[in-house]
């Protein structure tokens, strides 16, 4: 009887070690994938945040796949715990806590967008309107990465670097209002004042 108990203790202990090891691996996979995705969202250079969309997607897809696999393994382990085939470990709660923390960071600290960059963009637009053939390339303002700024028909076009799926997106500064025929755009939205947001197929 004593021998049976002595043999059971190491077995239970090793099973517990394996459980914690798997949970730690899931946690590390979750942290790694979320770090890459957050880095790309905020434009961290260390994870290729400054790359164009075509290159970023090759970094984002493996991170999303890793996060998806970790999620499936986590769900299976939770299901096993609920069925009673595996003991519950507090390490199981670590991965979802990290995911919720990442979502909270994105909600509370969204990356700078057009509204934050608007005063600087307007200053650039006014400068370009005073130049005969105002064109600038590689302009970074706030959280916006502008590939090209050009003057056409009394308006200034800010073309964003991110050409997602063959779609060009940007903003137009037009003090005299948007004029049909200034440039072919698929859709345009008035943002208030002299500003418009446009999107067109590349």
Cα–Cα distance between 200 and 202 in angstroms, integer?
Answer: 6
Cα–Cα distance between 35 and 44 in angstroms, integer?
Answer: 10
28-37 pLDDT tens trace: 999 999 999 9
Cα–Cα distance between 83 and 85 in angstroms, integer?
Answer: 6
Q: What string of DSSP letters covers 6-45?
A: HHHHHHHHHHHHHHHHHHHHHHHHHHHHHHHHHHHHHT-G
124-183 pLDDT tens trace: 999 998 887 778 887 777 778 788 899 888 889 998 876 555 678 889 999 887 655 555
């Amino acid at each position: 009887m004593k021998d049976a108990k002595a043999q059971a203790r190491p077995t239970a202990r090793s099973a517990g070690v394996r459980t914690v090891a798997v949970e730690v691996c899931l946690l590390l996979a979750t942290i790694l994938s979320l770090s890459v995705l957050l880095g790309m969202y905020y434009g961290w250079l260390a994870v290729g945040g400054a790359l164009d969309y075509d290159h970023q997607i090759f970094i984002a897809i493996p991170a999303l796949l890793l996060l998806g696999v970790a999620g499936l393994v986590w769900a299976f382990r939770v299901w096993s715990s609920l069925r009673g085939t595996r003991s519950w470990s507090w390490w199981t709660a670590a991965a979802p806590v990290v995911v919720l923390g990442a979502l909270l960071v994105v909600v509370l600290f969204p990356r700078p967008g057009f509204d934050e960059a608007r005063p600087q963009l307007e200053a650039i637009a006014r400068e370009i309107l005073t130049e005969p053939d105002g064109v600038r390339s590689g302009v970074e303002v706030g959280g916006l990465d502008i590939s090209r700024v050009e003057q056409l028909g009394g308006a200034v076009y800010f073309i964003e670097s991110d050409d997602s799926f063959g779609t060009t997106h940007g903003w137009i500064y037009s003090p005299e209002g948007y004029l049909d025929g200034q440039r072919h755009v698929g859709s345009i939205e008035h943002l208030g004042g002299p500003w418009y947001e446009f999107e067109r197929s590349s």
